[in-house]
Structure 1
């Protein structure tokens, strides 16, 4: 329906409106509060304590130096390790490095060009020989040929062998046999002498590396020296069917052409040894806390002295603890102070202080939790022997880093959750020694947790489990994979273990958040959808008692709950909170129900014999009784606030007017403040809706003709009067929102009071039965009933 009717709602004070009531003076005890009391009531004491605790956890206190002894001294008392310490062992590391270097096989270069040159010489020898025999038949100039070959090819052949070749006219068959056998021998590898094997080749073998970089490992026996190559050449000749004289000739020629093609590569061998040394990690050993380093009466040996010196060196380095502590203190004091000032500008004082205390408590609690998991990680990492599980840093991913974020995402607005994600990620990075990847891991995981809770409907606690078991692990794995791809130096051998830890961390965060959520709700006064569903169960004893002892108030609360809930839905507020607050707002009337008009008969009025001031005290007392009962029922703080604020500081108009009529204005005056509720005025929009719904529902019941026009007038006048009385100053309603509220109220009330046709044959309205009653005319949805003056919300109390 349209809301044009409500344009007349006065949102600004006009000349005809009474001046705004002057602000109340501060209570006398408030004026007398000392500076210390004010600090204790404000957030500053909490901020100081939280900052000190955080700084202490981030900077562990240093231990006292151990006894300064020298080797050979006798220990005057037992000296124990003050903390766990991982100590490097340079001597053992040096031994490991040398062992790694010694394990490197000597590298020998295999030069394939040696055979190529040899083959070329053989080919040229036979070519020159065939050319010579063609020009000079016979063997009478063999000496000249020998000289020519020596000068031209540097080949010195015995005269008798050369004469034999001339006589055979340098046949191609011998040439091919010589080349083929030479290739076979050269391919095995020839070294000048095996006396050069002085690097352990005979025991361990060697690496044979060709010019193209291809290499193979061979035993020393697989390499031939010059003598062995000549014998191998001769043995291979024996396998070939050729004349004996030719076999001898080729054997002599093989001795000329067989030469070394394998040499020791010292540069490459040393390079590999250097690399092997560099790949050896530092050898360490762990000294556990409280382990006895030197017993009383024992002589200090070299190993014990090394441990003592290492502890003292580290303790001296930790002597900068105080500057670190002061730095951490200043950093977090600045961060938390900035957070407090930000919350003050965004939220009202009570929600701002609650969220600030929750943030500080969460940071301290998370630090304690991370410290415990860090100790556990060090213990497990030191005890596990598997290389894939021995890295302590890997266990960081299993920390429940997002437990606090899941709780924040469930309970507080998203901007506040985002600020906690930043602070938590920064704290994780500092605690773990400036671990930047883990800081990013925590930050991205926090965003995933926030999204997961929103995705799985934050009104239900199971959203924390779903987010932690589904979305958070997937994002954690994605971040770890990204780290490995960005930093290629990281070892993918640990990837599977890190992924397993990340999955465990997501699950741990979800379970921990789910278990702690009810405690956090109770401790900081939050109320969730699940809790509200429990509290609005009509079978609860408090509602049964109210329905039996104050049935009118109970029914009134039901209607107010419907009004407040529908209006909250229109404005996008917490409809469940508004409904629950409305259901509980009058539970204090169960103490003295007969003093309220909705719970008594028309003939019996207990206020008849009371003065207006006494009646006002009785009426106002139902708010106090309601708050007391809410505390006994352990209702959440938001519901107690609605009970306390649903009348604000409004005026009990009926008895105030009665007092002014009763007392003689000549002799005494009636102070308005005595007839006002204690307050405070509503501080949230949900509380404001309950106030308006309470007043409008009560006023609408006093209408004799609850037509749509009269209902509109009641709604408009009550909202306007409430505004002019400053009761909605703490709610920050906009004009658009008030018009939406008014339209929603009218829709619900008109549905309750809608007219019905009369039943034929009955005289419910005092008419004679069976008499035809003409239907009333309507035009433009207006009932033709006389307009009524808007009654006050407590009229007829």
Structure 2
């Protein structure tokens, strides 16, 4: 939906100066005033009704939980205990087992080579054995061990190797933790004793076997932190939340309050703390956050509201009106009417903003009103936000805004209210089915009734308040424009009766203007209605304008060009005065005043030049309209179409090429004359306007076949 034009200064806000409307200080002041009002409306709803009680006191009343709420502390304690019961998980590294077996095999292979080398002395053999042992197994052996090892026979080495592999493999295969390392190494002795019956190892071989096997036992089973935590997390997740059930007695009358009971009261937000200013600070920050988001949104996407404080005042007035209505309904929320929050007239705000300002802005404001509804109607659940009312308010308010897109009749407001009523029923029903414990079927029916009434109630209020906002802020809503375009309007009836030629001309200009405006995204309806009234000033002296002279004599032939010029120029000023007297909105007045801009009245200017002997005495400035030039697109378009319609009507043969040349010449002359310098029309838009006008004119001045005359009776048929 297109944004509405600038508010009029002819209403009750006429004392607002342009400086006030554009002052950034006043802009911020409006935000501050609205923020304070918003804060005051919500301040009583930031916390539920609370009690003043302390641990160890005797409770003066029975306090029950108003809601079903998870006992976070008890639940966390249960989860902690469940996690602690999960034992540590250890993972065995089989690679270490294989590595140790490989070391034993390599070690004995190297020792066999050393001991079988006859070229080495006993001392050299012991020395090399020590080196290999230190490099492969360990360096923690007594000196005597190297001598013992170097004196073993090849057969004994083989037996020791095989038995060492077997013992080490058996122990490591079962897993060895670091804390078990000493115990596992000591178990080597038991295994050697068990094998002494089956294997005839001498004492030296047993010594070597014992030392090699013990030193080869290493920790190969390690704490798996990740898997352990996963199991503990699973244990925590398996714990079902421990609830504080709705209606559960927290503290009974006459009971001494325990720490656990006090904690539950605190978690439920039922304790009153006189020195606790944090909730109020939090509400202030919330209001500032929402208004900051609204400020930057308007600044980025709705520049017309951002630049005009009157429009911002209109927005905040609508929002405050809606919030006050919601506040009154909140007073009626009690146990009997617990669902009355669904009656909140959020649609009033979104529909008024859609009609008076912009649909996109209305949808964003619906979010702000939804947050307010969540807080205003939180009494039943004793929570800061009751999302049920916020969700239903958001959906119904948004549906009402969408239903009013491009609305042209006031009766459509009731239809939008019906749409909002139906839209609210779906989330209400969905919430009831998802939370069946929250109410009975009777409560559901009551909720649906309130939701339906909310949409219809909002529509009725919108129809009641809309005329006041239109009048006070001078807003031209589409419905107001439709009313002004009614041919039975007194001014249009007067135009038709007194100046039939001008009336027909205005209708033609309206058709051209609407099509051209819509082609560039401007307000086509405003352009059409402005065209209907742009020449209303001609009703004062209709005979001086050629379209109303029919076949009568032209009075300009008998008067001077200067006087003719004065009469022609006066029709714009006369039109504005007539429109003011009939309280026609400012935008229509502006079109009447600006559609000629400061263009030159060429006919009488050239006539004056011909009559004056000394042409220098005729100044071009004296034969120009006083202006102002067009200040907005629709006024410029009406001016172009006004000139084009009159010019094309004067063409003897209005062919498409001649029409196009005429339109392009008129627009080019106005552009070179600076008539578009004060509005934001671009060259591309002027090209689109020209094409649109040509298409419309070609549809009007299309070629027609020439019908043959009726043959005379009795004529010969040849």
- Show the counterpart of 1:623: 572
Between the aligned partners of 1:414 and 1:96, the Cα distance in structure 2 is 45
Structure 2 counterpart SS, 1:680: coil
Identify which of 408, 425, 431 aligns with 1:477: 425
Q: Residue in 1 aligned with 2:352?
A: 407
Q: Is the 8 A contact 2:596 2:625 kept in 1?
A: no
Counterpart residue number, 1:722: 670
In structure 2, how many angstroms separate the alpha carbons of the residues matched to 1:283 and 1:540?
A: 74
Alignment partner of 1:359 is 2:319: no
Residues 94, 334 of structure 1: CA spacing in aligned structure 2 closer, same or farther, 3 A cutoff?
closer
| Structure 1 residue 488 displacement after superposition | 6.9
Q: Residue 692 of structure 2 corresponds to which residue in structure 1?
A: 741
Q: Is the 8 A contact 1:526 1:638 kept in 2?
A: no
The aligned residue for residue 394 of structure 2 is 443
- Per the alignment, in what secondary structure is the counterpart of residue 93 of structure 1? coil
> 1:316 deviation in Å?
4.5
Q: Give me the whole-angstrom Cα distance separating, in 2, the residues matched to 1:475 and 1:716.
A: 50
Aligned-pair distance for 1:694? 0.8
> Kindly tell me: are residues 672 and 325 of structure 1, through their superposed partners in 2, closer, same or farther at Cα, counting changes over 3 Å?
farther
Residue 588 of structure 1: CA displacement? 1.0
Q: After superposition, what is the alpha-carbon deviation per residue over 1:656-703, rounded to whole angstroms, capped at 9, x for unaligned?
A: 44556666879668354872441231513x434322221011112333
Q: What secondary structure, in the 3-state scheme, does the structure 2 residue paired with 1:678 have?
A: coil
Cα distance 1:330–1:671, how it changes in 2: closer, same or farther (>3 A)?
A: farther
1:338 to 291, 296, 299: 296
Hey, what does 1:467 align to over in structure 2? Answer: 416
Distance 1:587 1:281, change over 3 A: farther
C-alpha distance in 2, partners of 1:603/1:92? 102
> Are 1:52 and 2:33 an aligned pair?
yes
SS of the aligned residue for 1:448 comes to helix
Structure 1 residues 491 and 590, CA, compared in 2 at 3 Å: closer, same or farther? same
- Structure 1 equivalent of residue 70 of structure 2: none
The 3-state SS of whatever aligns with 1:435 is coil
Q: Secondary structure of 1:578's match?
A: helix
For 1:7, the equivalent position in structure 2 comes to none
Match of 1:690 among 638, 641, 660: 638
Query: In structure 2, what is the Cα distance between the partners aligned to 1:536 and 1:36?
Result: 30
Q: Distance in 2 between matches of 1:668 and 1:349?
A: 49
The Cα shift of 1:582 comes to 1.7
Distance, in Å, in 2 between the alignment partners of 1:96 and 1:646 is 73
Question: Which of 624, 638, 651 matches 1:703?
Answer: 651
Deviates more, 1:533-542 or 1:668-677: 668-677
User: Is the 2:27–2:309 contact (alpha carbons within 8 Å) kept by the matching residues of 1?
Assistant: no
Kindly indicate whether residue 245 of structure 2 is the aligned counterpart of residue 279 of structure 1: no
Cα contact 2:64–2:249 (8 A) shared by 1: yes
After TM superposition, give the deviation of residue 636 of structure 1 in Å: 3.3
SS of alignment partner, residue 402 of structure 2: helix
Contact 1:460 1:530 in 2 (8 A): yes
Change (3 A) 1:276 1:324: closer
Q: Residues 359, 60 of structure 1: CA spacing in aligned structure 2 closer, same or farther, 3 A cutoff?
A: closer
1:639 matched to 2:588: yes
Maintained 8 Å contact 1:558/1:582? yes
Is 1:605 aligned with 2:555? yes
* Counterpart position of 1:583: 532
Q: Structure 2 CA distance, aligned partners of 1:466 and 1:356?
A: 28
- Judged with a 3 Å threshold, the aligned counterparts in structure 2 of structure 1 residues 370 and 669 are, in CA distance, closer, same or farther, namely same
Query: Mean alpha-carbon deviation: is it higher for 661-670 or for 690-699?
Result: 661-670
Q: Could you say which residue in structure 2 is the equivalent of 1:560?
A: 509
1:276, 1:52 → 2: CA distance? 42
Deviation, 1:364, is 1.9
Per-residue CA deviations over 1:106-136 (Å, capped at 9, x if unaligned) read: xxxxxxxxxxxxxxxxxxxxxxxxxxxxxxx
| Structure 1 residues 135-183: Cα deviation after superposition (integer angstroms, max 9, x where no partner) | xxxxxxxxxxxxxxxxxxxxxxxxxxxxxxxxxxxxxxxxxxxxxxxxx
Q: Which whole-Å CA distance do the structure 2 matches of 1:281 and 1:497 have between them?
A: 30
Query: What is the Cα deviation at residue 349 of structure 1?
Result: 8.3
2:450 equivalent in structure 1:
501
Separation in structure 2 between the aligned mates of residue 518 and residue 596 of structure 1, nearest angstrom: 37
How does the TM-score come out when normalised to structure 2?
0.57
Instruction: Determine if contact 2:630/2:675 at 8 Å carries over to the other structure.
Output: yes
2: distance between equivalents of 1:725 and 1:578? 22
Is the 2:42–2:375 contact (alpha carbons within 8 Å) kept by the matching residues of 1?
Answer: no
Equivalent pair of 2:663/2:690 in contact (CA under 8 Å): no
Give me the whole-angstrom Cα distance separating, in 2, the residues matched to 1:328 and 1:490. 28
Q: What pairs up with 1:19-30 in 2 under 5 angstroms?
A: none
Q: Mapping of 1:469-548 within 5 angstroms? A: 469=418, 471-484=419-432, 490-492=438-440, 494-548=443-497
SS of aligned partner of 1:537: coil
Counterpart Cα distance in 2 of 1:475 and 1:430: 21
Contact 1:449 1:472 in 2 (8 A): yes
2:408–2:482 Cα contact (<8 Å) kept: no
Tell me which residue corresponds to 1:93. 61
In structure 2, what is the equivalent of residue 186 of structure 1? none
SS of structure 1 residue aligned to 2:627: coil
Provide closer, same or farther for how the CA distance between residues 661 and 353 of structure 1 changes in structure 2, counting only shifts above 3 A: farther
In structure 2, relative to structure 1, the CA distance for the partners of 1:283 and 1:598 (3 Å cut) is farther
**What is the aligned length?**
486
Kept after mapping to 1: 8 A contact 2:409/2:479: yes
**Does the aligned pair in 2 maintain the 1:711–1:749 contact within 8 Å?**
no
- Decide whether aligned partners of structure 1 residues 53 and 607 sit closer, same or farther in structure 2, where only a CA change above 3 A counts: farther
Partners of 2:525 and 2:244 in 1: CA distance: 70
Say whether the 8 Å CA contact 2:367–2:394 is kept in structure 1. Answer: yes
Describe how 1:172-571 pairs up with structure 2 within 5 A: 279-280=248-249, 316=274, 327=285, 330-331=288-289, 334-343=292-301, 345=303, 347=304, 355-375=311-331, 377-378=332-333, 381=334, 389-391=336-338, 394-429=339-374, 431=376, 434-437=384-387, 438-454=389-405, 458-469=407-418, 471-484=419-432, 490-492=438-440, 494-567=443-516
Q: Distance in 2 between matches of 1:402 and 1:61?
A: 19
Counterpart Cα distance in 2 of 1:414 and 1:450: 6
Of structures 1 and 2, the one scoring higher in RCO (CA 8 A, sep 6+) is: 2
Could you list the runs of 5+ residues in structure 1 that have no partner in the other structure? 1-34, 64-83, 98-273, 285-312, 382-386, 763-769, 771-797
Q: 1:515 to 1:582 in 2, by over 3 A?
A: same
Distance (Å, rounded) in 2 between the aligned partners of 1:283 and 1:657: 102
